[in-house]
Structure 1
Amino acid sequence: MASRSRNTPPPEDFTERIVDIDVEQEMQGAFLEYAYSVIYSRALPDARDGLKPVQRRIVYTMQDMGLRPERPHVKSSRVVGDVMGKLHPHGDTAIYDALVRLAQGFTMRAPLVDGHGNFGSLDDGPAAARYTEARPAPLTTELTNGLDEDTVDFVPNYDNSLTQPEVLPAAFPNLLVNGASGIAVGMATNMAPHNLIEVISAARHLLTHPNADLEELMRFIPGPDLPTGGRIIGLDGIRDAYANGRGSFKTRATIAIENVTARKQGIVVTELPYLVGPEKVIGKIKELVQAKKLQGISDVVDLSDRTQGLRLVIEVKTGFNPEAVLEHLYRLTPLEESFGINNVALVDGQPRTLGLRELLTVYVNHRIDVVRRRTSFRRGKRQDRLHLVDGLLIAIVDIDEVIRIIRSSDDTAMARDRLIAAFELTQTQTDYILEMPLRRLTKFSKIELEKEKSELEHDIEELSKILADDKILRRLISGELAQVAKTYGTPRRTVLLEGSGTAVAAAATPLEVADAPCWVLLSSTGLLARTTNVEPLVPADPDQRHAHDVVLSAVRTSVRGEVAAITSAGRMIRVPVVDMPALPPTSNAPTLSGGAPATEFVTLAKGERLLALTSTSTETAGLALGTARGVVKRVTTDYPGNKDEWEVISLRDGDEVVGVVELPTDEADLVFISSEAQLLRFSAKLVRPQGRAAGGMAGINLPAAAKVLWFGAIDLSVKDGEWGNLVVTVAGSSSALPGTQTGAAKVTPFAEYPAKGRATAGVRCHRFVKGEDTLLVAWAGPAPAHAAGPTGAAVELPAPDQRRDGSGLALKSAVTAIGGPRPVFAFTGETDDPASGESQSGESTAAEPSSGDSSSEAATDE
């Protein structure tokens, strides 16, 4: 084409027209058209079927493509292409985003698309449409059932080449069940999902009671039911939203406080607030911890998988109250979110803000109209068929004449006219007879036709009753709704809480665990625990038995203090008390089954055992230790303040510590019991205190093959009698495997054993009989004595025997540990130092701890 110069005059047929317009009016008109298009055609759902236009077109196109829940999936891009090419005049991205939302179970309470592939998560987007597949969900068929029965009006598509439904029949209240969200021009909608069973129950109630008020309907729908579960705190905002269409409520994660390890507690999240993903929560927590706005959290671990679902573990630092930390998490992180309800939907093409009753009323009226149109359509179809059947019956009566007329006619028009004149048929009946195969006009067909006529007349009568009686129509709709609820209903997921009393209580809880007096206990099976009070740990009855662990050590300290653990290798290790699990307060003896293994707090070498606990206070008389080779040592309390562990004795090769005791005063006797049943007691004053590096001095004289089985101390302030001191020995064979023999036990008053000098052999404490050549377990201490087996179960001991060198009585089960009574503490609350082991009067507040015996495997790091 030749170009025309700028100076060339325009051709004669070219007419230049310039129209003057008001820019302000043009902008107003264009904006209003755009706003109306966004509101009506894109952003807001219809109150009748609860779908936006793009969602409705997706559902309709999938049905039109022949996709069904029981048929294979197809590529999502194929669905998107059909929707875009036939019905939706927008881009494929918008269509696919809508398709993805319909398939997301964490977004929709009842998903309408069954997706196959990566349809995204709360933290990540979906895969591209070419990588995913889709088909309608089973519930979606309830939205489209009846489309071919003139139940709704059809309107042209964007280029008038096809038609599409203006609204779907919707056999359930989809808008309330799945909710909606969208931003239009000058308005927005945000509707919460609800439980299908509850919504249908309310709709059925409104069908039978059209004048029902909001309070009646809220008996069926108490509040939203979110797809991700969680908890809704406070129902006042929900009542406001149900009354006038606007309100808000708070959603919280479903959380439990559990012991994630023996030493740590954690906040375990199993359900998150609606539309909140775990990565969002983790990121916010880490940000707050780094900014030092959130304290008490050591780590956040996401353990979610397809088997157990969401499991987010927030580990709480020792020394912090999990309840208080949780309250800070609610306040600062998305573990608590607000949901603003704004029930804006299209009613008769106009956006309206609707309360619960209005939403249900719009749906019920729509469903009444759908069922009435469907019933009328079905009755018309049956009437048309009855009309044809009547014509066939007339023709069959005189079939020969019918055939003669048809054969003698020149063409179809002549045959039609002659049949109408001969049998008084209508043109519709005549055309049907002429088109029917001759084989249908038999005697058997007449019987079938008469039966069909009877059924048609009955159906027409029933359908006419439905159309004539509004109560029957409503009863039919109610029954259909009930069937949908029965088939597709699921239990409620979200818990509704009227108030937030638990949050108020948690807010009053201090963030860190308060420092308070307590007792730290070590059991014979190697469990460590702390009490939550300083009350007596046992009843006053000395004969009461306890079917659980023997307490080897009991140390009075404070929750935020520390104790020292002493091992068979002569090591002393600091252990924070706050790390230990707390036993529940009780007036009886606590069950140490609530404790944690000592190996969680103390690292032990192979063959090393934890023997006892002691206070780290330097105001006591110090420790006394005894070794397997008969060495005794009193250790001064010059413990280093800058170390977590140190040695308290220098051991020779092959030797080990077998007993440790904290001396209350110097007025105590140290006691050795050897494997060959020799007992030696001597005054603690005979052993001078030594520094930590010293190796001790001779305690008991042992033969070459013997070893010390037990070492401890006896407080001489405890007098003989009912609460006197006892010696317990259990004899057996050295050739038997450990733990396989029950042995024979003897209980003797400690006063029967005379004191001897240090480094002597002592006196015999048990006489061996046939089959016995060694002691298995030995112990000395205040009565009553308690014995325990390998599992901590109580073992009954025989009555005291005055013979110090007598033989024992057979036991019913094996004994691995022996201990005295649980300490009966005379605590008055007047102690200045809660970590000290002495009361203000100077008397010991704890019974003498008993060491473990050599046969016990408790607290051994194997």
Structure 2
Amino acid sequence: MFDMARRTTTPPADEDFEERIVDIDVSAEMRTSFLEYAYSVIYQRALPDARDGLKPVQRRILYSMSEMGLRPDRGHVKSSRVVGDVMGKLHPHGDTAIYDALVRMAQPFSMRLPLIDGHGNFGSPDDLPAAMRYTEARLAAAAMAMVQSIDENTVDFKPNYDGQETEPTVMPSAFPNLLVNGATGIAVGMATNMAPHNLGEVVAAARHLIKKPDATLEDLMRFVPGPDLPTGGTIIGLDGIRDAYARGRGTFRMRAKCAVEQVSPRRKGIVVTELPFNVGPERVVTKIRELVTAKKLHGISDLKDLSDRHRGLRLVIEIKNGFIPEAVLEELYRLTPMEETFGINNVALVDGQPRTLGLRELLQVYVDHRLDVVRRRSAHRRRKREERLHLVEGLVVALLNIDEVIRVIRSSDDSAQARERLMAAYELSEIQAAYILDTPLRRLTRYDKLELDREQETLREEIAELTAILSSEDRLRKVVSDELAQVAKTYGTPRRTVLLEASGAPRKTAAPLELEVPDDPCLVLFSSTGLLARTADASPLPREGGRSPHDVLVSAVRSTVRGEVGVVTSQGRMIRVQVVDLPTLPPSSDPPSLSGGHPVSEYVALNPGETVVGIGSLDPDGPGLALGTAQGVVKRVVPDYPANRDDFEVIGLKDGDTVVGAAELTSEEHDLVFITSDAQLLRFSASIVRPQGRPAGGMAGIRLDGGSRVIWFGAVDPALESRVVTIAGSSTALPGTQTGGVKISDFAEYPAKGRATGGVRAQRFLKGEDVLLLAWAGPGPARAVSATGKPVPLPEELGRRDGSGLRLTHAVAAVGGALGSSPGSSADADGRVPQAAD
């Protein structure tokens, strides 16, 4: 054991100093000093009192502000003024601790019911507040309920640190502040961490305990099911809460409040509107970015903090296409502060001793305190009213004998003699006699006599009421219960935190594939109105059973969800598009519709005057692509598409030429078909067209007469029952203003011809008709739509190959196959275009 010599000097009576050396045991000195320090931290700084839920510094702030008159109806004052008053009179532990406590009591994200009304920058969950010289403060309305009736001998006072002032040992606390606002603190050898609760729920439980003192924990939990956090969010799992309410210790998990929304036309995202308690948005944003950079979190394309003072918290986490938002959200809960654990440790001071308390004990301590406050307040008020009644009774006696009283006073030598003579003449007490002498003559009128009679009656009634409260425990409890109900009505707010029952353990890490959309087979569809979409699976789309579709198809390509397709444009370009970016059509729609698709312009950038003519597969082992141009050129493209380019040419066009059709060629037995503006149709076998590389310009497909051009090109399976639709009109009419004459004929009536020939006539023009406006060939039934995609009825009977057409009732913008019977569709397992029976 080591010894330490402590040298002390004590001045003697004379001028010489005598040195004394005292031997002290180091172990005993350290033990004593540490215990003194620990005691000071536990009782004077870190732990709240179970009665009012306040630490000493918080209690001193509220008391000082109350004494300074900083009520809610007064103006704000500088926070530094409050801090200086508290530090100078009551709390000599430094201004930083005082200002930190003041700031926390003003933060709505820290306190469920703030006690300070702050003006200025009082910080955020991520940022510190401004300095005390910049902020202002006053008591909040709820704080007035904490200090109410403090001047009515409701609580004990003690001397301050230097004995020149007094301070309350506890606040009257008109509501259970410890449960409502919670507490956190680290002492020496112990700590406290208490969750905030809803004021209305806590008051309801306290009133139930007042009414039924033998209430069980289960009874009280019917009113207080769990914490209610200032920042809202969701609490997952209530087992830990039950443990905390029973034994004072437990844990629960907090989750952010999130919703999966369509944050852009092409992307879904996770929108966060509430975060766990004590978690700020900047902390979440920083963690997510770190995880994305480290490649530990996948599927996030962008992150924006759109929070403001009007909408509140709003974090938008944009999800990459191909990832399941719900699975990404589970990863965010697992890896980021969007899910946090709160450990409840209900340690508070009870009768000056630290204790771990459950819900029932916390409520019982508060109820006992409040009963004592109301009892002392009632006794104080009764005593004050009795004293006032005593004075009023003496004054009434003086008024009844006013002339004699004046004579006695005037005939007395001094006030002492007058007091003695009044006491002897009318049997008054010394206090009553002195009060009569101090009363101005203007109070001794007949009107004041009536007022004193009414006051006397009122005082007697109030004394009787207060006596009844003090003499009846039931009356006392009712008063406390009614006052609690009024506080809850005045300051209560709806619950913010959602409670969810769960079995417990956090979700384990998800398999990587669970985050991504499965690479299932699907069909990619392109409609006549320029919409792109994909189906939920690769099964053939159903026919509409005679009902009108919303739109008609230009192309349908087999692919997979995480695959790619190429968009073919009129300028001979092919542009890659990710299939996963496309919207998914419902598995079954009645009637089938592409109205849920997105415009192709959202996925590809087109040049001025450039249009999309079709789509094709980018699989090098897949079906080849057949192209036809307005000048009659045909080309079969070798599928050697570059893997490192998103935009490339698939045909070398001559000046002034454009691609009018693109079709996947699933078999060389299919026919390539041209239909021209002068109503000529040419079909020939695809086998006679040699495949060429991408830069090649193709070969002659159809011979055109002067001024004519190709208006439609495609591939048709001759083994299927197909139809040819042609619509004739005038070349001088404005586009979209004429209905035209339509003819539907059997594709089999058109004989096959050689390549580079003129073909056969497809429709005979009537008077006023000199050009084909629209044409199409493929498996029936054929469908026509207007410019808005609405169906236009077509005649059911078939016309002769070279016959004339029937007049339409509405203008037609596009003609094509119905869903499930598109030309150029990828073949199924039998090499046939998928279609259902008529």
AA aligned to 1:617 is D
Residue correspondence of structure 1 range 347-366 to structure 2 within 5 A: 347-366=350-369
Further displaced range: 659-668 or 232-241: 659-668
1:49-64 aligned within 5 A: 49-64=52-67
How much has 1:73 moved relative to structure 2? 1.5
Which residue among 123, 126, 131 is the counterpart of 1:123? 126
Equivalent runs, 1:701-720 vs 2, <5 Å: 701-702=703-704, 706-719=708-721
1:839 aligns with 2:837: no
Instruction: Give 1:698 deviation, angstroms.
Output: 4.1
2:567·2:615 contact (CA, 8 Å) conserved in 1?
Answer: yes
Instruction: Select which of 524, 529, 547 maps to 1:544.
Output: 547
Residue 179 of structure 2 is matched in structure 1 by 176
1:749 and 2:741 are equivalent in the alignment: no
Residue 102 of structure 2 corresponds to residue 99 of structure 1 = yes
Shift of 1:193: 1.0
Offset of 1:237 from its aligned partner? Answer: 0.9
- Check the 8 A contact 2:540/2:834 in 1, yes or no: no
Structure 2 CA distance for aligned equivalents of residues 236 and 498 of structure 1 = 8
Q: What is the aligned counterpart of 2:523 among 513, 519, 523? A: 519
What is the CA-CA distance between 1:42 and the residue it aligns to? 0.1
Residues 843-858 of structure 1 correspond to what in structure 2 (within 5 A)? 843-845=832-834
Cα drift, residue 66 of structure 1:
1.0
Give the letter aligned to residue 745 of structure 2: P
Equivalent-residue separation in structure 2 for 1:769 and 1:485 (angstroms)? 87
* Aligned pairs (5 A) from 1:405-554: 405-499=408-502, 507=510, 510-539=514-543, 541-546=544-549, 548-554=550-556
**Higher deviation after alignment, 173-182 or 780-789:** 780-789
Match of 2:211 in 1: 208
Residue from 27, 41, 53 that aligns with 2:30: 27
In the alignment, is residue 301 of structure 1 matched against residue 304 of structure 2? yes
CA contact (8 A) 1:571 1:647 kept: yes
> What is the CA-CA distance between 1:273 and the residue it aligns to?
1.6
Paired with 2:477 and 2:730, the residues of 1 have a C-alpha distance of 88
CA spacing shift, 1:846–1:751, aligned 2, 3 Å:
closer
Displacement after TM superposition at 1:481 (Å): 1.6
In structure 2, give the amino acid aligned to 1:635: V
* Structure 1 residues 197 and 786: CA distance shift in structure 2, 3 A: farther
Distance 2:247 2:85 in 1: 40
Offset of residue 183 of structure 1? 0.5
Q: Distance in 2 between matches of 1:440 and 1:706?
A: 119
Q: Is the 8 A contact 1:729 1:766 kept in 2?
A: no
Q: 2:664 touches 2:826 (CA, 8 Å); kept in 1?
A: no
Deviations 1:389-442 (A, max 9, x none): 222222222222222222222221122222222222222222222222212222
- CA–CA separation in structure 2 for the residues paired with 1:560 and 1:354: 57
In 2: Cα distance, 1:138 partner to 1:742 partner: 75
Amino acid at match of 2:155: V
SS of the residue 1:510 aligns to: helix
SS at match of 1:612: strand
CA distance in 2, matches of 1:590, 1:469: 78
Q: Alpha carbon RMSD of aligned pairs, Å?
A: 2.9
Residue 634 of structure 1, CA deviation: 2.9
Inter-partner Cα distance in structure 2 for 1:637 and 1:184 = 75
| 1:282 is aligned to 2:282 | no
- Matched position secondary structure for 1:21: strand
Q: Deviations over 1:725-754 (max 9, x none)?
A: 241537577543x55x47246351334863
Q: 1:648 to 1:408 in 2, by over 3 A?
A: same
Match of 1:40 in 2: 43
- Higher mean alpha-carbon deviation, 578-587 vs 245-254, is at 578-587
Question: Displacement of 1:122 after TM fit?
Answer: 1.9
Q: 2:785 aligns with which of 775, 788, 796?
A: 788
Indicate whether 1:221 and 2:217 are aligned.
no
Does the 8 Å CA contact 1:528/1:598 hold for their aligned counterparts?
yes
Corresponding residue for residue 8 of structure 2 = none
1:39, 1:184 within 8 Å by CA — same for their partners in 2?
yes
Per-residue deviation at 1:607?
A: 2.3
Secondary structure at 1:16's aligned position in 2? Answer: strand
Aligned 8 A contact 2:744 2:795 in 1: no
TM, length-normalised to structure 1: 0.89
Cα deviation per residue 1:48-107 (whole Å; 9 max; x = unaligned)? 111100011111111111112232211111111111111101111111111111111221
Q: Which amino acid aligns with 2:26?
A: V
| One-letter amino acid of the structure 2 residue matched with residue 117 of structure 1 | G
What pairs with 1:657-806 in structure 2 (closer than 5 Å)? 657-675=659-677, 679-685=681-687, 687-702=689-704, 706-719=708-721, 724-727=722-725, 729=727, 731=729, 734-736=732-734, 741=737, 743-744=739-740, 746-751=742-747, 754-755=750-751, 757=753, 758-760=756-758, 762-763=760-761, 765=763, 767=765, 776-800=773-797, 802=799, 805-806=803-804
Q: Distance in 2 between matches of 1:440 and 1:718?
A: 118
Instruction: Give CA-to-partner distance per residue, 1:184-218, whole Å, 9 cap, x none.
Output: 01100011111111111111111111111111111
Do the aligned residues in 2 keep the contact of 1:554 with 1:846 (CA within 8 Å)?
no
Rate the CA distance shift 1:388–1:299 in 2: closer, same or farther, 3 A. Answer: same
In structure 2, the residue matched to 1:333 is 336
AA aligned to 1:185 is: V
Give the distance between the partners of 1:350 and 1:502, measured in 2 at CA.
35
Aligned with 2:273: secondary structure?
Answer: strand
- The count of corresponding residues between Structure 1 and Structure 2 is 819
Quote the Cα distance in structure 1 between the aligned partners of 2:808 and 2:106.
72
Query: Any conservation in 1 of the 2:540–2:835 contact (CA below 8 Å)?
Result: no
Deviates more, 1:287-296 or 1:203-212: 287-296
Q: Is the deviation greater in 390-399 or in 636-645?
A: 636-645
In structure 2, runs of 5+ residues without a counterpart are 1-11
Structure 1 window deviating more from structure 2 (814-823 vs 388-397): it is 814-823
- Please report the TM-score for the alignment, with normalisation by the length of structure 2: 0.91
Residue pair 2:617, 2:623 contacting (<8 A) in 1 also? no
Is the aligned partner of 1:81 residue 2:84?
yes
Identity percentage of aligned residues = 62
Q: In structure 2, do the counterparts of structure 1 residues 14 and 752 end up closer, same or farther at CA, with 3 Å as the change threshold?
A: closer
Question: Counterpart of 1:327 in structure 2: which amino acid?
Answer: E
Post-superposition Cα deviations, 1:780-824, rounded to whole Å, max 9, x if no partner, equal: 332223333444344444444526643444435x54333312117
> 2 CA distance for matches of 1:710 and 1:590?
25
SS at match of 1:428: helix
The answer to whether the 8 Å contact 1:228/1:272 transfers is: yes
Is structure 2 residue 654 aligned with structure 1 residue 649?
A: no
Contact 2:191–2:347 at 8 Å: present in 1 too? yes
Partner SS for 1:17: strand
Q: Identify the residue that residue 856 of structure 1 maps to in structure 2.
A: none
User: For the Cα contact (< 8 Å) 1:747–1:799, is it kept in 2?
Assistant: no
Moved more, 797-806 or 777-786: 797-806
Q: Is the contact between residue 681 and residue 762 of structure 1 (CA under 8 Å) also seen in structure 2?
A: no
Counterpart of 1:141, as a letter, is M
SS in 2 for 1:338: strand
Q: Deviations over 1:462-510 (max 9, x none)?
A: 2222222222222222222222222222222222111169975993662
1:250 counterpart residue number:
253
Aligned to 2:3: none
Cα distance between partner residues in 1 of 2:167 and 2:623: 95
Q: What residue is the counterpart of 2:7 in the other structure?
A: none
Q: For residue 3 of structure 1, what is the aligned residue in structure 2?
A: none
Aligned partner of residue 133 in structure 2, secondary structure:
helix
SS of the counterpart of 1:26? helix
Cα 1:429–1:536 change in 2 (3 A) is farther
